[in-house]
Structure 1
Amino acid sequence: MNVSNRKILIYRLGSLGDTVIALPCFNKIRETFPYADITLLTNRPVAAKAAPLEAVLGQGYFYDHIFDYPVGTRSLFVLFSLIRKIRRLKIDTIVNITASRSKQAAIRDRLFFKLAGIKHLIGFPKDDRDFNLSIDPLTNEYEWEAIRLSRRINELGKISINEDRYWDLHLTEAEIKAGENALSSIDKQKPFIAVSAGTKMQAKDWEDDNWVGLISRLKDALPGWGLVMIGAPDEADRANECITAWGHNSINLCGKSSPRVSAAVLKQAFLFVGHDSGPMHLAAAVGIPCVAIFAARNLPRQWYPRGNKNRIIYHKTDCAGCGLEICIIQKKKCILSITIDEVHDEIVNLINEGQHALL
């Protein structure tokens, strides 16, 4: 494959977590096309300053240009304007790493990009494993999303999914420095845990009382340790309750740091505690062990964080895999059956194992 002077389009939609789980694919594309002119096509949420991909990937390494559009639009004007933009770039190859939706959607996507003048199509879903969650024959568990995506672009070569280089965010010196500055008010001579207690989805929420109760227990279990709360601006109130419960050597960074600066902060933590979320995937990407509290709205393993040192707390109920964003009838029985004691013990055990490994 001639990789010099190529013009590449990467098609990827999704949230912060979706972007992080696709990092091996982004790194593989740049590795394969080191001198290519790369354009991202993605979605921009309403009222957001940056698309999730832009906020996670930054600028200057993974891509050179970015286009975004409202997902699900039926506006012919918007679609034909997008086609014209792509045609003007004279793109020769598209790498599709967006989530598989349906066979009909895959056919529409192929037609759309052919109309945009792109001749070489890579990564388009084509068999049942691409459309339906399958059992990984190596683990006898549901296929991990990072593996499913990387399998679709194996035309570019094998991705060694466990290698750190494929999870590299390529943080800049300025971002690393900003992460250090964000922690200037806590005692960095002491270890700290990073916690993200918020979520955008009601069905994934472990709720206030559990989080405050957990932090109160951990304060006694970890004397002298620090606490750093991270997350979105609308999660700051719950984070403040946790800070109050901790009572010392703590800081609330919710809404005060970008995803990439948050990654630089997380890189200095001893471990991360949080929901199935973007911050969880960021922590795992930079190599920090996670204690992750999962609802059962997705089937186990598909959206687990990277790494083999994590503690996943997932109660598989009879309604597992429902996909609900709001759970009313079952009253979130999967995630709310997880107890404070259960999470507390996993955290303490993981810390003890980590400290033993440092001896």
Structure 2
Amino acid sequence: MIGRPQPRRGDHRRETAALARVSLRRHPLGGYRYVRWRWRLLFALVDVLGTALFAAAGCLAALWRRIVPARRGEGGTTGRILVVQLDHLGDAIITAPIFALLKQRYPAARIEVLAAPWNRRVFDLIAEVDRVHICARNRFAPRPGLGWIPAVIVWGLRMRRRRFDLAIDVRGEFPHNVLLWLCGARRRVGWGSGGGGFLLTDRAAYVPDRPELESRMALLEPLGIDAGGAGRRPLPRIHPTEAADAFARSAWRQASPERSARRVVIHVGAGTPAKRWPVEHWRALLAGLAARGSVAVALVGVESDTATARAILGSRPWPVVDWTGRLEIAELAAVLQQADLAIGADSGPAHLAAAVGTPVVVLFSGTNRLEQWRPRGATVQWLRHPVACAPCHRRQCPVASQPCMRGIRPADVLLAIERLLAAAAGRGEDRSALAPAKRGAE
């Protein structure tokens, strides 16, 4: 009888020790979101000194305004708005609802976004965004070093020529607050939790572990924008272009000529190694889907995920198409919208699937708090294996077995898939027949 391989002596002891170290998990404390004491102390000192200096400067500025009258045209109107979003794809999707609300509040305003190369295509799909600027060097770039800090600050000086009336930073980084101040916006809205709150004119209330969608809405409160109470917030919605929709229809027809086959998209990648599901689990899931029959499966991911896809598929002739590294964001959005189901880790494509209205099973690691970061939507189902060390906020799991992801069993994922597909069948949904939605439509 072949049983499960027995761990070598000492392996369990080492893993228990590693788990105990991780269990001393780090939490944001006080008014700062940093988990390390040295950063909290540093920015507390910066804020004390900065607040004192800016208070003195404010007194001098008030005296100057009493002596010199304001120039004609100053104040009042909001003609240009800048939104700074330099982090991940999923974060950008969570931010999507604020643009329609800003446009409702300032219908004549021109809305521009300072984005990163990897999330900029999201904003191309949002009708209310008039222009996207690309900041390639920032903290979330591969191997950023410290050069990203002056690069972001230089962007503040470049944006000064745009003469923004309102600037909003979504992330809450100290250099981003410097950017908002340098760009010369009359009104600057953001977070003081990353340091540099004295550089802002309006600070949103920092609430640790609050759902990220709620935090986005909190940024609008100082502007007098009512986004509705909890449970009535607008959900992220992304609408693929007609060209992307046509591409997806053609791709799905080639992948599965069988009209009745259920279309399933599997995102094999993850934002960090700590969020990756084991390759052998993916193989077991594919075997279960193949046994189910009448299912067309497509693997998606960025170019660096192609090796993972090859490892999953191996030499076995799976009835699967591999689209990793081949899809732009708009094409991925359309492929997901025309699918019956999506599966993946807690990362950008899971948020994108929810934003186009596709049922999605999210495999949640112990890295972040689930309630804070899970995708929002009526057909989102998450799976998580509880571990004592969560949330660890780590990119790499120090425990060799990575229990939070390995503990999510393929059988449980298959059960979640069956439930969502059955629910969709009960509603009579045929997502392959969806008409392309117009941009900006609700």
CA, structure 1 residues 259+322, in 2 after alignment: closer, same or farther (shift >3 Å)?
Answer: same
Superposition pairs of residues 197-276 of structure 1, within 5 angstroms:
197-221=268-292, 223-240=293-310, 241-242=312-313, 247-248=318-319, 250-276=320-346
Q: Distance in 2 between matches of 1:116 and 1:67?
A: 15
Instruction: Sort the Cα spacing of 1:53 and 1:35 in 2 relative to 1 into closer, same or farther, 3 A.
Output: farther
Structure 1 position 292, deviation (Å): 0.9
* 8 Å contact kept, 1:269–1:288: yes
Change (3 A) 1:328 1:78: closer
Contact 2:204/2:219 (8 A) holds in 1:
no
**Alpha-carbon separation, structure 2, partners of 1:234 and 1:339:** 25
Moved more, 156-165 or 83-92: 156-165
What residue is the counterpart of 1:53 in the other structure? 119
Coordinate RMSD, CA, aligned: 3.0
> In structure 2, the residue corresponding to 1:326 is in which secondary structure?
coil
Residue among 235, 241, 253 paired with 1:184: 253
Question: How many residues get paired?
Answer: 335
TM-score by length of 1: 0.82
Question: In the TM superposition, what whole-angstrom CA distance separates every residue of 1:72-94 from its partner, at most 9, and x where no partner exists?
Answer: 55688646642331221111111
Cα separation, partners in 2 of 1:77 and 1:206, compared to 1, 3 Å: closer
In structure 1, the partner of 2:170 is 97
Kindly indicate whether the alpha-carbon contact (under 8 Å) linking 1:206 and 1:336 is maintained by their aligned counterparts in 2: yes
Q: Deviating runs (4+, > 6 A) in structure 1?
A: 2-5, 126-129, 161-165
Residue 60 of structure 1 and its aligned partner are, at CA, apart by: 7.6
- Which whole-Å CA distance do the structure 2 matches of 1:120 and 1:196 have between them? 40
Instruction: Report the counterpart of residue 328 of structure 1 in structure 2.
Output: 398
Would you say 1:37 and 2:105 are equivalent positions? no
Name 2:240's counterpart in structure 1: 171
Structure 1 residues 307 and 331, CA gap change in structure 2 (3 angstroms): same
Judge conservation of contact 1:5–1:36 (CA < 8 Å) in 2: yes
Q: Is 1:273–1:292's contact at 8 Å kept on the other side of the alignment?
A: yes
- 2:423 corresponds to which letter in structure 1? E
> 1:296 Cα shift?
1.0
Supply the AA of the counterpart residue of 1:184: R
Gaps of 5+ in 2: 1-74, 140-145, 198-202, 430-442
State which of 355, 360, 371 in structure 2 corresponds to 1:301: 371
Return the offset for 1:326.
0.4
**% of aligned pairs identical?**
22
Instruction: Give the secondary structure class of the aligned counterpart of 2:135.
Output: strand
Larger displacement relative to structure 2 (306-315 or 270-279) = 306-315
**1:79 to 1:326, Cα distance in 2 relative to 1, 3 A:** closer
CA contact (8 A) 2:165 2:187 kept: yes
TM-score (normalizing by structure 2): 0.68
Q: Structure 1: which 5+ runs fail to align?
A: 44-50, 135-142
Which of the pair has more CA radius of gyration? 2
Matches of 1:311 and 1:113, distance apart in 2: 38
Q: Distance in 2 between matches of 1:166 and 1:300?
A: 17
CA distance in 2, matches of 1:285, 1:77: 34
Matched, 1:10 2:80: no
CA displacement at 1:334 relative to structure 2: 1.1
Q: Deviations over 1:55-105 (max 9, x none)?
A: 22226832314141522556886466423312211111112222x35xxx3
Cα 1:282–1:330 change in 2 (3 A) is same
Q: 1:179 to 1:243 in 2, by over 3 A?
A: farther
Map Cα deviations across residues 198-249 of structure 1 (whole Å, 9 max, x no partner): 224111111110001111012112x12211221112222433544976733x
